[in-house]
Structure 1
Amino acid sequence: MIKWLQNIFSAPKPTYPLPKAWQKILARNAAFRTQLDPATQKRLDLGIAVFVRDKYWEGCGGLELNDEHRVTIAAHALRITLGFEEDYFDDVKTILVYPATYQVHAKENVGGGIIVEGPSTRLGEAWYNGPVILAWSDIESQMLKRGNPRNVIAHEFAHQLDYRNGMDADGVPPIESDEQATRWLEVMKSEYDKLCQICRHRGKRSVLDCYGTTNRAEFFAVSTESFFEAADQLAQECPELFEELRGYYRQDPRTATV
């Protein structure tokens, strides 16, 4: 309890406009912000202020959290909800940040009734009604690679959107109508099957990470990464998938329109 109170009182509580130091962090680590129109940029900045203030943040594995960690994570998390109305991931209360990849003890069902148990190396995790866990070194390396279609922050927060339909992430976030849901399921199944086929053949490449073949939930999260980080390439390689994501997220990263 004492540590939680210390975190609350020590966390910055900014007002709009964001402090200049924060704006410099965003210029380095969230270049997409400068492409947004002024009204959307203001909405993002206000969201970052709320997100940083209201979450419980904790550094793990010896990491001492600072403004760069909080502001960067907030910006990339909220980017994916810019098409929604005032969505600051209120269902996510806690964000844990490790300095690098970390290990957890995990059980994995590999089929045939066989369960493998042992250490598992992680870049991030998202839990239903629980924390989002991230590895900072992976975030840093992804930001340094321009044109990199990977973004672990977008990935884990896409899982949180997926959880809004229930305790099990299944790759189907809340969708407005039955007609849209039917279309979503058809396209996602087709694109998932296509990625599985591509990833079985060495030499073939896709804008989508083969980790997306793990299951439908991971496919949605991986697709979200590519939608925001490699929109042009995704639209060219997987036009139907791109259109489904554009409709769901209500924005187009190619033109920074919301």
Structure 2
Amino acid sequence: MNLFSALSRRLHRWHSLRELREGIIIYPIWKQVEATPLIRTVEASSRVRLRELASRLLAEKQLLGAGIELNPFMRAYIATEACLPILNLPDDLDWYDNWHTLIVRPTPWTAPVHGPAVGPLTEQRNVTLAGVTSLQWPVIIDWQSARPHKPGHHAHQVIIHELAHKIDLQVDDAANGYPPLHADMDGKAWYDAFKTAFDDLQACIGRPHCHPRINAYAATNAGEFFAVATEYFFAAPWTLYRAYSAVYEQLKLFYRQDPRRRFAPPSV
């Protein structure tokens, strides 16, 4: 028994050293990542590919802590969730060629936002942010919001949300909810599905006693609707499907995944 244990430990160390040389997320860290609530819903065969893709992302991108030290698990988890949307996309990491650095803050932060001018003055207010993405700046998220948590009826996946914006920004440098569609997709079907759902959500918010079926933040603009819908697609797929089935079907065609198969349908 002792000899067997010693041989097992030596074999485990050999595998870990080989993985480090090859740049693969080492097995002990990967076991922690794939045990997290969202990642463990992914099919075992797809998790193999996800590990390889996340390892490549870590080799190609910078993940930096700002006021927080990123340990190996945190880095591996962020990279893995970041790769979930591109898992089955052709050219995978090429969809992220418009960013190089992801900065992680410890908690949400406040930032001034300038609103429309009122007379000679511009309205300014402070908003709390969990993540931010723009065309030229790094992706910024906070770990408190991004850390692993159990998916529920509503989706709160800041990593997926911000990187959905980066996918959206591949076209015309504008996050307008219209990413580059695959050749076999119908642009009008995409537009109609998202426009109908967006209008419905905005109308609901404008009515008293109407409860939005997905996060009301999606009604901000078409780009935010796409990012929020992507969060729901991966983390609360049944909620999105029951709210806006046409949007779900378009995202299924785009991401080439069907997350509803990973989750048991919740009771109504």
Aligned equivalents of 2:161, 2:199: Cα separation in 1: 20
Does 1:123 pair with 2:125? no
Q: Is the 8 A contact 2:86 2:92 kept in 1?
A: yes
Rg: which structure is higher? 2
Q: CA 1:133/1:245 → structure 2, altered by over 3 Å: closer, same or farther?
A: same
Hey, what does 1:18 align to over in structure 2? 25
Q: CA 1:30/1:93 → structure 2, altered by over 3 Å: closer, same or farther?
A: farther
Aligned positions of 1:176-195 closer than 5 A: 176-177=182-183, 180-195=186-201
Aligned equivalents of 2:218, 2:119: Cα separation in 1: 22
Q: CA 1:59/1:18 → structure 2, altered by over 3 Å: closer, same or farther?
A: closer
Q: CA offset at residue 166 of structure 1?
A: 2.1
Q: What letter is aligned with 1:132?
A: V
Aligned positions of 1:38-187 closer than 5 A: 38=45, 40-60=46-66, 62-88=67-93, 89-109=96-116, 115-140=122-147, 143-144=149-150, 146-177=152-183, 180-187=186-193
Q: CA offset at residue 230 of structure 1?
A: 1.1
Aligned equivalents of 1:236, 1:65: Cα separation in 2: 37
Q: CA offset at residue 207 of structure 1?
A: 3.9
Q: CA offset at residue 150 of structure 1?
A: 1.9
Hey, what does 2:261 align to over in structure 1? 255
Residues 217-255 of structure 1, C-alpha deviations (whole Å, 9 max, x = no match)? 001101111111111222122111111111111110112
Q: CA 1:177/1:50 → structure 2, altered by over 3 Å: closer, same or farther?
A: closer
After the TM superposition, list the runs of 4 or more consecutive aligned residues in structure 1 that deviate by more than 6 angstroms. Answer: 110-114
Q: CA 1:67/1:182 → structure 2, altered by over 3 Å: closer, same or farther?
A: same
Hey, what does 2:243 align to over in structure 1? 237
Q: Normalised by the size of structure 2, how large is the TM-score?
A: 0.80
Structure 1 stretch 75-84 or stretch 200-209: which is displaced more? 200-209
Q: CA offset at residue 182 of structure 1?
A: 1.7
Q: What letter is aligned with 2:86?
A: T
Q: What letter is aligned with 1:225?
A: E
Residues 26-62 of structure 1, C-alpha deviations (whole Å, 9 max, x = no match)? 1343543453142x222111111111222112111x2
Q: CA 1:146/1:230 → structure 2, altered by over 3 Å: closer, same or farther?
A: closer
Residues 192-223 of structure 1, C-alpha deviations (whole Å, 9 max, x = no match)? 00011222334433441100111110011011
Aligned equivalents of 1:76, 1:223: Cα separation in 2: 16
Q: CA 1:198/1:47 → structure 2, altered by over 3 Å: closer, same or farther?
A: same
Aligned equivalents of 1:21, 1:171: Cα separation in 2: 38
Aligned equivalents of 1:64, 1:129: Cα separation in 2: 25
Give the gaps of 5 or more residues in structure 1: 1-11
Hey, what does 1:220 align to over in structure 2? 226
Does 1:36 pair with 2:43? yes
Q: SS state of the match for residue 137, structure 2?
A: coil
Q: Normalised by the size of structure 1, how large is the TM-score?
A: 0.83
Q: CA offset at residue 170 of structure 1?
A: 0.8
Q: Is the 8 A contact 1:16 1:46 kept in 2?
A: no
Aligned equivalents of 2:120, 2:246: Cα separation in 1: 36
Give the root-mean-square deviation of aligned CA atoms. Answer: 2.6
